[in-house]
Amino acid sequence: MADRSSALLLAFLLVVGTLPEALAVGGGRQGTRTFSVLSRPIYLKYGEVHNTIQDPIRLPQDLVREFASKPMAIVDYSVDIVDKEGTRVPLYDGYNHHYALGIGGYEALNWYYKKHKNDPYGGYELNATQVPTMRTFMDDMRALSMDVSRRGRRRAANFGGGSGAEERGTSHLLPAPFAHVVDKPEALIPLIHLINTKAPDRRPGDGYSKLLECPCTPQRRFDESTGHIDGKPPVPPFSCNSKFEDEGNPSCSFDAYEGGFRCCEHGVFLLDTSVHDVSKEETTEFFFKFDFEFLELEPETRLVRPPACCDVTSNRTVGGNIEFDVPACSEGVDPEDCVYEMSSSQTIDMMPNYHHKTEHLDVDPKEVVELVYAVGHLHVGGLSLDLYDDDSGELLCHSVPKYGATEAAGDEEGYVVGMSSCTFDPPIKMTRDTVVRTVSRYNNTVGHHGVMALWLMQVSDPAPTPSIQAS
């Protein structure tokens, strides 16, 4: 039944076209074409969380045949949630917390899915295990070309890795000649973190759903003897820089933690189930829709990848906590002055991931990378995210959220419905050890749990490589 529903929806989308113009990809670079992929259906009750990978979804067969022996260069993409009729789902019904995507050969992705389909997901690498959560999922998608015997040196591409609802209306277009390159593209594998926010008693004007902050309900089991939540180590391990630690930010401490994605794992309900009988809640069917803009690979094409940086809870030695709490403004302060500002400095591309406390030892810190694209990741309450060259003080990127103002899907009142991005054409050249400073600002007329202030960037390694063409 699920496969038939997916097939009918995909057929519908092919007939009626893609999403509204503001969100559709295409037309950004000369000679591009587009294709769309629909996720497997996701069934959730109100307050329930989906946070895991799906099995690989085959790409359109005409594209698979066309690129069977040559690489594809993907230059833009967009992500949205639709229902079984192909209608866009408003954020007050389904909230896209974050997602990651991999595109590559079907056999490689299916091998990966079978190996990891039962692993717990929910962050940026589970402590003390090999579980490929959000960060390692992205790294694994890049590394699919490493196992020569299994995958024949074919490259896979990855997208997202922390992007969520706030990027629904955001351009991810790369300037020429940059692209995500895939050898023999055959399938897509998505990691989807989705929350059903469809409250049965919701009324227009209620504002954003508090469920998107992932409150820790009484059903979450915090074991002080092991430091585990629901029987597993927290993802990631609690690790904030000294600024957050000194102020006693609740998200930085197991003992003080009240809400965030560590209480938002797959299958969890964000409602107190001793009060809410979730068995009586209606089940809603969701689909994720992925649109891509692509070209054939050209000799001058330059590959992009995400750098190690940046998270405002990190610094040059602490990998970071990914999330933090925004404390409520002091009583009596004028609302316009209620701004919670935090900053941190990190090397642009030296940390191995967001929460190891060591730097790379196997790379040249003076190796040059080129910054091609950047967009900020903020939650509701966010005001801005700024990226500076720490030495010169030069502002490199100013990313600000767009808030919705109506009941319409894509313009939901109280929700972040887009982020401004920065495209660098020509790219900014810097060494891997260049220190950049991140400054985040949140409105704190009310407090918030589990917010984030991350940069999602693309860099390119300028040295030409003979593997640019298909192996």
Q: Among the listed ranges 126-135, 270-279, 416-425, 452-461, which one has the minimum average pLDDT value?
A: 126-135
Q: Of 285, 287, 283, 196, whose CA–CA distance to 11 is shortest?
A: 287
What integer is the mean pLDDT of 346-351? 88
Greater model confidence, 27 or 140: 140
Question: In the chain, where are the structural domains located?
Answer: 2-200+278-303, 323-465
Rounded Cα distance, 29 and 6, in Å: 30
Residue 343 — pLDDT band, cuts 50, 70, 90? very high
**Confidence (pLDDT) at 354:** 45
What integer is the mean pLDDT of 344-353? 82
- At 436 the three-state DSSP class reads strand
- At 244 the three-state DSSP class reads helix
CA distance readout (Å), 350 to 144, 244, 346, 354: 22, 22, 9, 10
CA distance readout (Å), 116 to 38, 62, 136, 149: 21, 29, 12, 20
Helix (H) or strand (E) holding 75: strand 71-82
Amino acid at 170: T
What integer is the mean pLDDT of 91-105? 95
By DSSP bridging, strand 416-419 and strand 401-403 are antiparallel
Q: Of 49, 306, 380, 362, whose CA–CA distance to 157 is shortest?
A: 306
Residue 153 — pLDDT band, cuts 50, 70, 90? low
- State pLDDT tens for residues 383-438: 999 999 999 999 999 999 999 999 999 999 999 999 999 999 999 999 999 999 99
By DSSP bridging, strand 178-183 and strand 302-303 are parallel
**Confidence (pLDDT) at 139:** 58
Rounded Cα distance, 311 and 355, in Å: 10
CATH number of 323-465: 2.60.120
Amino acid at 36: S
Q: Of 134, 123, 118, 138, whose CA–CA distance to 55 is shortest?
A: 118
Q: Provide the Cα torsion 100, 174, 348, 454; round to 10°.
A: -40
In sequence order, the β-bridge partners of residue 79 are: 290
CA distance readout (Å), 454 to 164, 395, 402, 409: 12, 16, 17, 25
Give yes or no for residue 194 having a pLDDT over 50: yes
Asked if 341 and 439 count as a contact pair (C-beta separation under 8 A), the reply is yes
Give yes or no for residue 154 having a pLDDT over 80: no
* Neighbour count for residue 130 (Cβ, 10 Å): 10
Q: Among the listed ranges 5-14, 142-151, 316-325, 334-343, which one has the minimum average pLDDT value?
A: 5-14
Give yes or no for residue 52 having a pLDDT over 70: yes
- State pLDDT tens for residues 403-413: 999 999 999 99
